[in-house]
Amino acid sequence: MPTPEQTHWIILAGGQASRMGGNDKGLIELAGQPFIQHVIDTLTPQTSHISINANRNQNIYSQYGDVFGDSIENYPGPLGGMHAALHHINNDWIGFVPCDCPQLPHDLVSRMTAACQPDTDIAVAHNGDYIQPVVTLLHRRILPKLEAFLANGDRKIILLYRQCNMITVDFSDQTDAFINLNTPDELSQFGARHDSN
Ligand SMILES: Nc1nc2c(ncn2[C@@H]2O[C@H](COP(=O)(O)OP(=O)(O)OP(=O)(O)O)[C@@H](O)[C@H]2O)c(=O)[nH]1
Ligand SMILES: [Mg+2]
């Protein structure tokens, strides 16, 4: 429904990365490049509208593009980044990807946009096994529901989605595209596979 050019994409890098020892995950290096650079490299051929949601090291992230932080304090989770994006970006359709997913689909934007219907609130990627709740394209009409959800103290992303008109977008041909690296072990194992290829 929206064309790819009518969408604006946010790289979510605002988490605490507690499982990664609290290091700012978007800036951790993989194959000589910070995580955020891998995501930017995948998205740049797909869209010219990219912003970064980060709560730490905003001066460093600003070298990679437009940066904004959460307006809700105490790390409410990815929905905090989505909430901030809906206030920061003046666009009907806003897409999200996490900073710790270094091999996202090269056709993510075209497939997510093509799947949306006029009444779609949220399109969420699905790898055939699992829904990928932080790889999503949403319409700004969900903002009132999102604000009520957060004000109620709710944080579980999928519970909000179930209140909306959600569709899933099939990426079962690319199951590995959504591998995300949450711990030092996952990072070193992924790095070792990457080096041996
Ligand atoms: N803006 C914002 N983004 C968040 C927040 N929590 C998580 N995220 C982002 O959501 C995505 C998925 O989160 P996780 O992989 O669980 O990352 P994380 O919360 O940094 O890591 P853990 O603390 O180990 O769970 C990542 O891109 C995070 O940057 C938050 O409180 N605010
Ligand atoms: Mg993760």
CATH number of the domain that residue 192 is part of: 3.90.550.10
Q: What is the pLDDT of residue 125?
A: 98
Interatomic CA distance for residues 146 and 25, integer angstroms: 25
Task: Identify any residues that bridge with 29 across adjacent strands, giving them in sequence order.
Answer: 34
Atom of ligand 1 nearest to the CA of 55: 1
Mean pLDDT of the chain: 96
C-beta of residue 2 within 8 angstroms of C-beta of residue 95: no
* Ligand 1 proximal residues by C-beta, below 6 Å: 12-20, 25, 53, 70, 75-78, 80-81, 98-100, 134, 180, 182
Residues at the binding site for GTP are 12-14, 25, 53, 70, 100
Q: What is the pLDDT of residue 191?
A: 86
User: What spacing in Å lies between the alpha carbon of 106 and ligand 1's midpoint?
Assistant: 23
pLDDT tens-digit series, residues 128-157: 999 999 999 999 999 999 999 999 999 999
**pLDDT-based confidence at 96, cuts 50/70/90?**
very high
**pLDDT-based confidence at 193, cuts 50/70/90?**
confident
Which residues form the domain of 35?
Answer: 4-196
- The mean pLDDT of 109-127, rounded to a whole number, is 98
Atom 22 of ligand 1, nearest CA residue: 17
What percentage of the chain carries pLDDT values higher than 90? 94
**pLDDT-based confidence at 196, cuts 50/70/90?**
low
- Decide if pLDDT at 160 tops 70: yes
Higher pLDDT, 168 or 191: 168
Prediction ipTM score: 0.97
Number of domains in the chain: 1
Ligand 1 probe mutation, 10, 16, 18, most atoms within 8 A of CB: 16
Determine the Cα angle at 34 with ends 59 and 31, to 5°: 160
Burial class (CB in 10 A: 0-12, 13-18, 19+), 131: middle
What percentage of the chain carries pLDDT values higher than 70? 99
Q: What is the DSSP string of the chain?
A: ---GGGEEEEEEE-S--GGGTT--GGGSEETTEEHHHHHHHHHTTT-S-EEEEESS-HHHHTTTSEEE--SSSS---HHHHHHHHHHH---SEEEEEETT-TT--TTHHHHHHHH--TT-SEEEEE-SSSEEEEEEEEEGGGHHHHHHHHHTT---HHHHHHTS-EEEEE-GGGGGGG----SHHHHHHHHHHHHH-
